[in-house]
C-alpha cells in the first residue's frame, strides 16, 4: 500500500488477530477468497435496484453476481425458489431486521422479542434502538430457574399483547430453540413469525443445529458469525400469496438503503459456496463439540454456566456468582491482558449494570476455524480458570 499509516495498522491488526485466543462468539476468520472478493473492483460500482431493474447502466455483471449469491443462499439452506425468496443486499444485521419491521409492522405496533438482558438483540425492539422508538417492544425473558425459554409464559404474553410479529433470535442464548412452538404461539395470535438466526446460520447450514425454515415466515441472518463470511446480512422470506417478500425488497431499497455493496455480496457468495461442502459440515459439528467441552470443563473447575450448558457455539459464564467471583468486566479485562478475547455480558436476572455485568460470553466458531479441537478447549478452560482466579 502507498498509505503506510493505514498499512501499518492493518498489519498490526493482522498480528493481533493471530496472537490471541479469540472467543468472541460473533466473530470468525474468512478465507483468502472472501478477502479477495471484498477488496475487489466491485466496490467501485453503483447498482441501486435489483437484477434487471437497476437505476444505473453497466450492471450486467452486478446482476450475475447478485443472482449467483441468491441461488447459493437458497441452495445452502435447502430452499426451493418457488417457496422462498432471498434478499442479499442488507448491509448488516441491524438494517436487515429494521427492513423486515418496515415491511410488516405498522409504525407504533408491537414487536415481541427477547429482552436484551436475557440474550435478545437491540434490534428486537429495545428502547435504545430505532426498533424500540418506531415500534413497541413486548419483551419476553427466560425462566428464572432453568434459564431457558418458557413457552407457557411466551404464550401468555402473546395472548395478552397481540404482537404483530414474534421474533425468535438471540445474541446470548446458548440452547436449542424450539421453532415449532414459536410458530404455534404466532399462529394462535395471528402474528408473523421471524427468526433472526445470525448466530446460528453456520450451524444450520452445516446441519448441526435445527433449521428454522420449516416454521418461519421470515429468516434474517448476518453472514459473518458462524457462517464465516464477510460482514453482511440476508433476509429470507416466504413467497406465498401474502407477498411479504415484495414488501421486504421495497423496504431494503428504496426504503432504507441506497446502492448495495457488490464486493460484500460477492464475498457472501464465496462464503456460501464454501459452506456448502462436507468440510464445512464437519466444521459446524466441531464448533458445537468444542463449545460443549469448554462449557463442561469450566463447570468442572467451579464456574456457573448459565442454563447449565450449551447446544450451540455459545456459552454464558456467570463469573460473578452472587459476589463470590468477579464481575464480567473484570473477567474480560483480565483475560484480554493474558491474550484471551471475550466480551462481558449480562446474564438472566442480572443485578449489575450492562457496562459491568455478571458474566462473560464465550464462543468457539473462530478458534475452530483455526483448527482447535476438544483437547485444545480443555487447555483453554484451564487457562481461563487460572487467569480468573489469579489475584491480578
Ligand atoms: N455483535 C453481535 C453479537 O455479538 O451478537 C450482534 O450485534
Q: What is the pLDDT of residue 29?
A: 98
Q: Return d(Cα 266, Cα 36) in angstroms, integer.
A: 10
Q: What 3-state class would DSSP assign to 280?
A: helix
Domains of the chain (ranges, CATH numbers): 33-275 (3.40.640.10), 278-389 (3.90.1150.10)
- Exactly one of 196, 217, 249, 318 is catalytic; which is it? 196
Is 129 touching ligand 1 by the criterion CB < 6 Å? no
Mean pLDDT confidence for 335-357: 96
Report the alpha-carbon distance of residue 376 to residue 371 in Å, rounded: 9
- Does residue 261 contact residue 233 with C-beta atoms inside 8 Å? no
Distance 26 CA to ligand 1 centre (A): 6
Q: Does the pLDDT at position 51 exceed 70?
A: yes
- Strand positions, DSSP E, 109-252: 110-114, 136-140, 165-169, 192-196, 218-222, 233-238
343 lines ligand 1 (CB under 6 A): no
The number of C-alpha atoms within 13 Å of 61 and in the hemisphere containing its C-beta is 10
Residue having the nearest C-alpha atom to atom 6 of ligand 1? 171
Give pLDDT, residue 392.
59
In angstroms, rounded to a whole number, what is the distance separating the alpha carbons of residues 311 and 289?
Answer: 9
Residue 46 a catalytic site member = yes
Of 27, 33, 48, 178, the active-site residue reads 48
Decide: residue 48, CB within 10 A, 0-12 exposed, 13-18 middle, 19+ buried.
Answer: middle
Asked whether 26 lines ligand 1 (CB < 6 A), one says: yes
Strand partners, 360: 317, 344
Q: Which atom of ligand 1 is nearest to the CA of 122?
A: 7
Residue-wise pLDDT for 240-288, tens only, equals 999 999 999 999 999 999 999 999 999 999 999 999 999 999 999 999 9
For residue 389, the model assigns a pLDDT of 95
Amino acid at each position: 500500500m502507498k498509505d503506510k499509516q493505514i498499512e501499518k495498522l492493518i498489519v498490526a491488526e493482522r498480528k493481533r488477530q493471530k496472537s490471541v485466543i479469540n472467543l468472541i462468539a460473533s466473530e470468525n476468520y474468512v478465507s483468502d477468497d472472501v478477502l479477495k472478493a471484498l477488496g475487489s473492483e466491485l466496490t467501485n460500482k453503483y447498482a441501486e435496484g435489483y437484477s434487471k431493474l437497476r437505476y444505473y447502466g453497466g450492471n450486467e455483471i452486478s446482476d450475475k453476481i447478485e443472482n449467483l449469491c441468491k441461488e447459493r443462499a437458497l441452495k445452502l439452506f435447502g430452499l426451493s425458489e418457488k417457496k422462498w425468496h432471498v434478499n442479499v443486499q442488507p448491509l448488516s444485521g441491524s438494517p436487515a431486521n429494521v427492513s423486515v419491521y418496515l415491511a410488516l409492522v405498522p409504525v407504533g405496533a408491537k414487536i415481541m422479542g427477547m429482552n436484551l438482558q436475557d440474550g435478545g438483540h437491540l434490534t428486537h425492539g429495545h428502547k435504545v434502538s430505532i426498533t424500540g422508538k418506531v415500534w413497541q417492544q413486548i419483551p419476553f425473558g427466560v425462566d428464572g430457574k432453568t434459564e431457558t425459554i418458557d413457552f407457557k409464559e411466551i404464550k401468555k404474553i402473546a395472548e395478552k399483547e397481540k404482537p404483530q410479529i414474534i421474533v425468535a433470535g438471540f445474541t446470548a442464548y446458548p440452547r436449542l430453540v424450539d421453532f415449532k412452538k414459536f410458530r404455534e404461539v404466532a399462529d394462535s395470535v395471528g402474528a408473523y413469525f421471524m427468526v433472526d438466526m445470525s448466530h446460528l446460520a453456520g450451524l444450520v447450514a452445516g446441519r448441526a443445529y435445527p433449521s428454522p425454515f420449516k416454521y418461519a415466515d421470515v429468516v434474517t441472518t448476518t453472514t459473518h458469525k458462524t457462517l464465516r463470511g464477510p460482514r453482511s446480512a440476508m433476509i429470507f422470506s416466504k413467497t406465498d400469496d401474502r407477498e411479504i417478500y415484495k414488501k421486504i425488497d421495497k423496504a431494503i431499497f428504496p426504503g432504507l438503503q441506497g446502492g448495495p455493496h457488490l464486493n460484500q455480496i460477492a464475498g457472501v457468495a464465496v462464503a456460501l459456496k464454501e459452506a456448502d461442502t462436507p468440510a464445512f459440515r464437519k466444521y459446524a459439528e466441531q464448533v458445537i463439540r468444542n463449545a460443549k467441552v469448554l462449557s463442561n470443563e469450566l463447570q468442572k473447575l467451579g464456574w456457573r454456566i448459565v442454563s447449565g450448558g450449551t447446544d450451540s457455539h455459545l456459552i454464558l459464564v456467570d463469573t460473578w456468582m452472587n459476589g463470590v467471583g468477579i464481575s464480567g468486566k473484570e473477567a474480560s479485562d483480565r483475560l484480554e491482558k493474558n491474550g484471551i478475547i471475550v466480551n462481558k455480558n449480562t446474564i438472566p436476572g442480572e443485578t449489575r449494570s450492562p457496562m459491568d455485568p455478571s458474566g462473560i460470553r464465550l464462543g468457539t466458531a473462530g478458534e475452530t476455524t483455526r483448527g482447535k479441537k476438544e483437547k485444545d478447549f480443555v487447555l483453554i478452560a484451564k487457562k481461563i480458570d487460572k487467569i480468573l482466579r489469579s489475584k491480578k
